[in-house]
A and B are shown apart, each in its own frame.
Chain A
Amino acid sequence: MYRYDQYDHLIVKERVAQYRDQVRRRLSDELVEDEFRILRLQNGLYLQRHAYMLRIAVPYGLLASRQVRMFAHIARKYDRGYGHFTTRQNIQFNWIKLEESPDILAELATVEMHAIQTSGNCIRNTTSDELAGVAADEIVDPRPYAELIREWSTFHPEFAYLPRKFKIAISGSEQDRAATAVHDIGLHVIKNEAGEVGFRVLVGGGMGRTPILGSQIRDFLPWKHAMSYLEAILRVYNQYGRRDNIYKARIKILVKAIGPEEFARQVEAEWQDIKDGPSTLTEEELQRVANYFTAPAYETLPATDAEYERLKAEDKGFANWIKRNVKDHKVPGYAAAILSLKKTGVPPGDITADQLDFVADLADRYSFSELRVTHEQNLVLADVKQSELYALWKEAKAHGLATPNIGLLTDIICCPGGDFCSLANAKSIPIAQAIAERFDNIDFQHDIGDIELNISGCINACGHHHVGNIGILGVDKDGAEWYQVSLGGAQGNTSSIGKIIGPSFSAHQMPTVIDRLLQVYVKQRIEDERFIDTVRRVGVTPFKDFVYATPIKAGHVTGEDVCA
């Protein structure tokens, strides 16, 4: 993976010094909170309900084991012994003291990490495919381009105070695993007929209050022009994005208002000034970065390992785990293994300090000392020998990290919600937990098969509810927490925005609502049809009719302690 050179180190160290001084000035009242708030947010420090939360950038989801050990250290020394992986492939700590935050950054800098632009109205951490570089369906490895975007966007002087936050995702595979359609900019690395590398550029996707899928504004942008073209997009947005209403400030609203064609025309006009200028990437620069992403020292192995096949046939638990949590690898004899952070009873994405140390050890022993974070809030060991999967599974299982539920009902994407976040209208973690408990039976989950259940505690949609096959949104009604359910959302190559099925439910009703939706699916599905395909074939109506056919006991309408 990428290693800092002297310039990366210098910039991060100078950032720590700048931030340390900003904290000092805040504590001595040289800075007022209104000013400091915007400065600290640009460094990922939020004030939540109980304490500060610090969000640390994990560039395009890639981690070295020594970085993961640093997270464990931070969890123990500065937090309450655990951290939380987010849907932007980052990690956040929820119990941080302002006074200590500069020291955390100084410690992070020693392992080439930071919290730069993990919040605020600036260009956020670029996300990518968790299987980048190893996926069997990969066209071009997106990681070098993701790193080039990281460097370009870090402290870009012109785009530090955009109308609103700005998120870029990049994917280089047949299957889009980076949710590019719901990003401000989605990039697909592709090859043209001549075999040259370039980008298909989508703009104006997003979730939040107004969910929209991105529009393609360019079918092939030669890779050398990536930075100048991104700059042109940002320059148009910085000047014309709305600043009068926070809910209409994302680029999607601008693109929708003037239309993708007109937006593309304005970008083109800005781009003509800078195209072929000094920001144009060079072969040497691409090569410099690409050299960090060369293949590790793979062994030459048979495509299938006999002992592995035997164990798979013999041990149903192992077979279940393989079926759900292990993905194809482009190198024979290797596989990518997903460690599930969705064990029932644990908030989705949460991980303890001991588990962090443990997964770092696993990475050292099984996967060239690297890990990846998925935007579904799980971890990946991307380069595991097939012959070692059984041993890995045993170890992971002993530490609660081998729930065989990837892509299943309990692999819930969930924001921190009202338990932590001051923006939330409702709690989300207890809903996820109540559903996970109700459907804990893994055989049942395997029977239901692929399904995406996403939960957000407010309209900001950190839990990606719009693109969940089942989406749950926490809403506030007269001070009580209610949950709105949508159906038919999807991420990936056939992305779609879910449709709301009707009036909202209490927290207590939610497991039964899910149960009824699944009953309709089981009844309606045709042989091996996935949940989303059934919804698309039969429409929302049969689901809606059945869910609302008879009343569901409302329980505590406040949604408090439903699953305590």
Chain B
Amino acid sequence: MPPRSKLVMSLEKTSVPNSTHIIKDKVVISDDWTVLRLNEGETPEGVAVPEGKIIVPLKVWQAQRGNLQGRQDLGVWFASDERPEALKDDLAPFKVIAVDFPKFADGRGYSIAYNLRKRLGYQGELRAIGDVLRDQLFQMVRCGFNAYATRQDRNIHDALKGLTVFSETYQASVDNPLPLFRRHERGALPELSDVGAGI
């Protein structure tokens, strides 16, 4: 039988609106952006967007574009069922773009990130928000994320280790646009190599 969990579930979902620390470009930094999430009853048109550094839902941006587009410190976030093409030719207003992972096992955010980077050519901060955990960070960095608002009930310094699990990968992705066979001469037999000997 598996060991029983001692962690209390209520710790896992925090309602803290803004992370105090995130991982960005492989270091832990303090962060003062706030993610705006609509509460029940609020609408994209009607919700008041607070002043300051704020990351708004895509729907709020689309509904309140007129009011928001002059803002200096504006970010936008995608829900997992939204498509990056919604911001085609419209990336300039944002200092940060975030992608929400409602559950870590919902993998749509990886394709959103990929297309934001590769199809739309987005160069700025791309942040994973929501159920962001250590064991998914390696996939995230590969798909183009460079910032991670990891879950508040977990140690962010532990999470950092998730970024460096593998030192080689087979496929091309955002972090490494060439597949392994275009990066390295392959075919050295294992007995002629001591690679990974220390693992």
Contacts and interface: CB of A to CB of B under 8 A. Distances in A.
Interface in B103-132: 104-108, 110-112, 114, 118-119
Interface in A1-38: 3-7, 9-11, 13-18, 22, 26-27, 29-30, 32-33, 35-36, 38
A321 to B, nearest CB: 38
Nearest to B107: A161
Given A26-B3, A238-B111, A14 B104 contact: no
Contacts of A273: 118-119
Most buried by A among B107, B182, B184: B107
Contact of B188 (A6, A161, A238, A278): A6
Contacts of A161: 104-107, 110, 136
B51 to A, nearest CB: 34
A158 B113 CA distance: 9
A235 interface: yes
Consensus secondary structure, chain A interface: helix
Interface string B1-24: 011111100001000000000000
B92 interface: no
A277 interface: yes
B172 A279 contact: yes
A238 B136 CA distance: 16
A273 B181 CA distance: 21
A118 B135 CA distance: 18
A357 B119 CA distance: 52
Interface string A269-281: 0000110011100
Most buried by B among A155, A227, A284: A155
B196 A288 contact: no
Interface residues of B, number: 53
B142 A3 contact: no
B173 A157 contact: yes
Interface string B154-178: 0000100000011111111100011
A277 B189 CA distance: 29
Contacts of B199: 13-14, 16-17
B111 A22 contact: no
Contacts of B7: 29, 32
B166 A11 contact: yes
A15 B53 CA distance: 39
B193 interface: yes
A221 interface: no
A105 B165 CA distance: 17
Contacts of A210: none
B169 A10 contact: no
A14 B143 CA distance: 20
A291 to B, nearest CB: 8
Given A9-B193, A14-B199, A98 B2 contact: yes
Interface of A: 3-7, 9-11, 13-18, 22, 26-27, 29-30, 32-33, 35-36, 38-39, 47, 98, 112, 121, 151-152, 154-162, 227, 235, 238-239, 243, 273-274, 277-279, 282, 284-285, 288
Given A5-B189, A151-B170, A157-B138, 9 more contacts: A3-B189, A14-B165, A29-B6, A32-B12, A161-B105, A238-B110, A278-B182, A279-B179, A288-B181
28 contacts: A3-B190, A5-B187, A5-B190, A6-B188, A7-B184, A11-B168, A14-B165, A17-B199, A18-B166, A38-B104, A47-B2, A152-B171, A155-B166, A156-B170, A157-B110, A157-B138, A158-B111, A158-B114, A158-B173, A159-B110, A161-B105, A161-B106, A161-B107, A162-B107, A227-B171, A239-B108, A277-B172, A279-B179
Of all A-B residue pairs in the complex, the 9 with the closest CB atoms, nearest first, are A161-B107, A157-B142, A6-B193, A13-B196, A157-B139, A6-B195, A285-B181, A158-B110, A13-B199
Interface of B: 2-7, 12, 83, 104-108, 110-112, 114, 118-119, 133, 135-136, 138-140, 142-143, 158, 165-173, 177-182, 184, 186-190, 193, 195-196, 199
